[in-house]
Amino acid sequence: MLIRTAAIKDLDHTRHSDEVEALGGTEVIAGSNAARIGHTEADEAATFLLNHFTVAGAADPVKVWRGLTDWYTSKIGIDNSTALLAVDSRSPFALVNYVRLPSNPPAFLLNQLLRPSFHRIVRSALKNHQMRALPGFYHMIR
């Protein structure tokens, strides 16, 4: 779930609000908008990918993300993406990227996995920077 606040100072109140606590989640990850391409929320009826990245080494996850955006825009047709950088050490994820998908999740995954360049460029970059992607697909609710 992605919850937007107006300012970082609002995080603590949001984390401990009755509404958030009633959801029973085990992790509340705080991130700030570190980079973006396009307008991710242009179509609220779309399916969204929230990709949670761990980093085992000293890599800058935003720099790695920026390095992969050209491949996704040129090969997969992605026209949007928002990178949220963890703002505190409580997060097990250094970066959470969310993107509005141009197709349904199976088609999106196949469009990547069947391309040799995905393995050569994307997977190689993540491996070289000791990053791991943990994706999840979501729909927006209001």
In a domain, 18, yes or no: no
pTM attached to this predicted model: 0.85
Residue 16 within a domain: no
| Res 28: pLDDT | 67
Identify the sign of the CA torsion 88, 89, 94, 97. negative
Instruction: State pLDDT tens for residues 66-83.
Output: 999 999 999 999 999 999
Question: Mean pLDDT in the chain?
Answer: 90
CATH number at residue 95: 3.30.70.100
Q: For 96-131, how does the pLDDT look when each residue is reduced to its tens digit (9 = 90+)?
A: 999 999 999 999 999 999 999 999 999 999 999 999
Residue 47 domain flag? yes
Domains of the chain: total: 1
pLDDT at 137 over 80: yes
Residue 59 domain flag: yes
Q: Which domain holds residue 70?
A: 31-139
